[in-house]
Amino acid sequence: MVAKVEIYTWQTCPFCIRAKALLARKGVDYIEYRVDGDERARGNMAQRAHGQRTVPQIFINDQHVGGCDDLYDLDRQGGLDPLLT
């Protein structure tokens, strides 16, 4: 089964770009929700992310992973690949 990966982003956010780059290096397809100036979309993101309003916010199989640093930490600890397969 392929993991369902979702990421909420701003177009020019450097952390969003870094998070998407890591997912791309791993060959992961993801659904991107751009919340640039869209308060309704950002509110939906915050609700799913337990109040977090910063971007990116990343979800794998509907599990909240967190932001860019959280994604990279998960990868360094060896926990990302198992979630993606």
Q: Domain residue spans in the chain?
A: 5-84
Check residue 2 and give its pLDDT: 85
pLDDT digits over 36-68, tens only?
A: 989 999 999 999 999 999 999 999 999 999 999
Task: Note the maximum CA span of the chain.
Answer: 35
| pTM metric for this prediction | 0.94
Average confidence (pLDDT) over 2-14? 96
**Roughly what angle, to the nearest 10 degrees, separates helices 14-25 and 68-76?**
30
Q: Is the pLDDT of residue 85 over 90?
A: no
Q: Does domain 5-84 have CATH number 1.10.3720.10?
A: no
